[in-house]
Chains A and B, each alone.
Chain A
Amino acid sequence: MRNVLILLKKEYLRFVVDKPAVILTFLLPAVLIFIFGLIFGGNGGVQSKIPIVFVRNSDEPIAKFLESKLDSSDAIRLVKSYKKEGEKNERKIDEATAQKLVKTGKYSTALVVPADFITDTSSSIHLKMYYDPANEVEFSLIQGVIQKTIFTQLPQLFPLLFQKQIIKPLQGLKRKKFNSDIADVVSKYFGVPKEKILESMDFSKWDSKELLKGGNNTGDNFISKIIRFESKQLVGENIANPGVTRSVGGWAMMFLLFSITGAASSFFEEKQEGSLKRLLCMPVRRSQLIWAKYIFTITLGIVQLLVMFVFAWLVFGVDIFSNFGNLFIVIVASAVAAVSFGMLITSVTKSYQQANGIAMVFILVMSAVGGSWFPTFLLPGWMQTISRLTINYWSVEAFLQVLWRNAPFARIALPVLILFSTGFIVNFYALVRFRKGNIF
């Protein structure tokens, strides 16, 4: 037993002195639990509202009321105007612009309240939705919020729509006879004048403003028949495997970061085995060693991403060829950014174990926050701001533009520029660090 205790003490000591192991054991799970807690537990402060484009073409009070209720929603934010590049003032968004904004990926959904939102002859209310299911979860959430708002905030509307639904089959004279018979019965048994009853049954005289007063009705399955959603998918209709097409970029970026960091930190292995020392004794400059490693890891990253996309094409039918030029640009930009991350980690750490431990923490956190695992809209607002500081975010955005929206270069220019700039700036800093660091 004594020996077991001695050995146990040794095991604890060995674990405690292994800092990367301690980090991976305690810090990483804590950080990931924190991120998931913010998403699913709602403890992350104010959850960011999902922006949707909103166009109202109906002046019906109910349409205005619906707008005001959606405006006060905790889950969505209505975007009604936008500023075009080069213009000083914002302009109101019309239906065509709404479609364009969705198509270009600026917003995922547009809700249009058309001129025929509700008419005298309507048996249902009419809403139009234009959407880009690049983010399926987001789209489902928006749709749910709109339905919930209508069902809970406009219950007064339903009696009218119910009756319209009921009398729809009773056309012309039959309807008049039906109303007259009903009025006779009510008058006979409740003593109300028949004219008053008939007047109240004349829907053409109903004021929609009155409908907004009182009422506690709630919807059921039948309700879906009285709200007519005219949904139109604007992007990705012809994509063979939407799920994989949407997510392949995020996963590819995460695995790229893992492999690239491993390749960059192989400097430590070379140092340990003495081959780095041997190389430095030759007429070879440190910068040449670093550049060789940099170029190698970039080419490795490019090849790895290409292999992953080719695999996605072969197995899942993801279309990588119709916009291959832009896809390749994003691949190169992502590889440059990922390599700079690997070089930075290598330049600031003291050993292979330390580099891998720290890299693991950063890669998993960046992947979670940057959109490699789940859409960033699920994160609280402040964390969405942080997510923009990760290379995963820009890479995922660019891959989505290329693969999902078949976007031209102009639309990927910003993320590509950010990835390249990040790559070069971070790598420059890493180069400076290398000269002072522990590698040489």
Chain B
Amino acid sequence: MTNIIEIKELIKVFNDGRKNEVRALDGVSMGIPHGVVFSLLGPNGAGKTTLVKILLGISYPTSGSIELFGENFRNIQLKKRIGYLPENHKFPPYLTGEKLLKYIADLYGYRPANLDKRIAQMLEIVEMSKWSKTKIKNYSKGMMQRLGLAQAILHNPELIILDEPTDGVDPIGRKKIRDLILRLKAEGKTIFVNSHLLSEVEMISDSIAILNKGKVVYSGTVDELTTQKQIYEITLNREFDDYIKFKLEGFQVVDWKERKFRVKIGKESELQRIQQILQENNYLLLGLNQVKTSLENEFISLIEKTGNENE
């Protein structure tokens, strides 16, 4: 299966005209397959917005290549196959929700026979039917975000780019947005999420990429990131002595606490060997639990390791 987005060696350099160059993107390469929820993560100034802008044709790269749907991203007609929810967007306040969707459909050249029905359907999906004839200037932030989602998916795009989709939305609203994203994924759409809310990303993403200082510092699944260094917490029947500590020196024990300790396991055989050592030394294993690190922890760890732009 070809990737819906294929980015190779992308470089974007900003020049302020005073010989001060900023490399916003520094050799970014990644591929995003069809029908997945992909999330782009990174601290402020990592280059996320620049990458999204380039994908959307708002900005152009200094070098490198991007293919969307297997074609050069500069083909303006490809934009018809992309839906976009901008961050902190403001739609014309004098339009109603319904009229905004008609306006957006016109600009996309999306003219199905049943456009009115499609618009009503979209507003229903985002639970905005009741407000369809209300002017946007009267909408709350949450309503604006839902309307933004409706306009992003109105023209039935194959690729949907969502910039901070749950920004300013309450927990119930966030759950609804997550459900909608998963529903779109089930329909075969590819969702590209740019978000700071790592917990949200963790819940919905099939794959992620973490950018830092314009470089991809991680690309893969959330599971791969959070479980690649499996940590197990082992609970014993009694406190361990120095001898057993000595015996376990060859393993990556990260934390000793009375009758418990945590150890990083690279291979399954390591765990079996630890169990064997404990048994040989008359320790009874009361508990063996895998400790999974959170995306947030791994994110922070990665950023610290590769250097934080904000420091």
Chain A positions near chain B (C-beta within 8 angstroms): 273-275, 277-285, 440
Given contacts A277-B58, A440-B58, A283 and B107 within 8 Å (CB-CB): yes
- Residues of B within 8 Å of A283, CB to CB, are 76-77, 79-80, 107-109
Total of A-B residue pairs, C-beta within 8 Å: 47
Chain B positions near chain A (C-beta within 8 angstroms): 53, 56-59, 76-77, 79-80, 82, 84, 86-92, 104, 107-109, 161
- Residues of A within 8 Å of B59, CB to CB, are 440
B107 touches A284 (CB 8 A): yes
B90 touches A275 (CB 8 A): yes
How many Å from the CB of B123 to the closest CB on chain A?
A: 18
Complex alpha-carbon distance, A335 and B188, angstroms: 51
How many Å from the CB of B96 to the closest CB on chain A?
A: 16
Closest 4 CB pairs of A and B: A273-B90, A281-B84, A274-B89, A283-B79
- Residues of A within 8 Å of B108, CB to CB, are 282-283
- Residues of B within 8 Å of A279, CB to CB, are 107
Complex alpha-carbon distance, A279 and B56, angstroms: 10
B82 touches A274 (CB 8 A): no
- Residues of B within 8 Å of A284, CB to CB, are 107
29 pairs, A vs B, C-beta closer than 8 Å = A273-B89, A273-B90, A274-B87, A275-B89, A275-B91, A275-B92, A277-B53, A277-B86, A278-B84, A278-B89, A278-B91, A279-B107, A280-B56, A280-B57, A280-B58, A281-B56, A281-B58, A281-B79, A281-B82, A281-B161, A282-B79, A283-B76, A283-B79, A283-B107, A283-B108, A283-B109, A284-B107, A440-B58, A440-B59
Partner of B107, one of A273, A274, A277, A282: A282
By beta carbon, the residue of chain A nearest B151 is A278
How many Å from the CB of B60 to the closest CB on chain A?
A: 10
Complex alpha-carbon distance, A440 and B76, angstroms: 16
- Residues of A within 8 Å of B82, CB to CB, are 281
Complex alpha-carbon distance, A273 and B109, angstroms: 24
- Residues of A within 8 Å of B109, CB to CB, are 283
In the complex, which of the residues A275, A278, A279, A284 has the most CB atoms of chain B within 10 Å of its own CB atom?
Answer: A278
Partner of A274, one of B57, B77, B79, B90: B90
Complex alpha-carbon distance, A283 and B79, angstroms: 5
- Residues of B within 8 Å of A273, CB to CB, are 89-90
By beta carbon, the residue of chain A nearest B148 is A278
Complex alpha-carbon distance, A277 and B86, angstroms: 8
Complex alpha-carbon distance, A284 and B107, angstroms: 7
Complex alpha-carbon distance, A72 and B232, angstroms: 108
Complex alpha-carbon distance, A281 and B57, angstroms: 7
Complex alpha-carbon distance, A409 and B87, angstroms: 53
By beta carbon, the residue of chain B nearest A285 is B76
How many Å from the CB of B257 to the closest CB on chain A?
A: 50
Complex alpha-carbon distance, A278 and B82, angstroms: 12
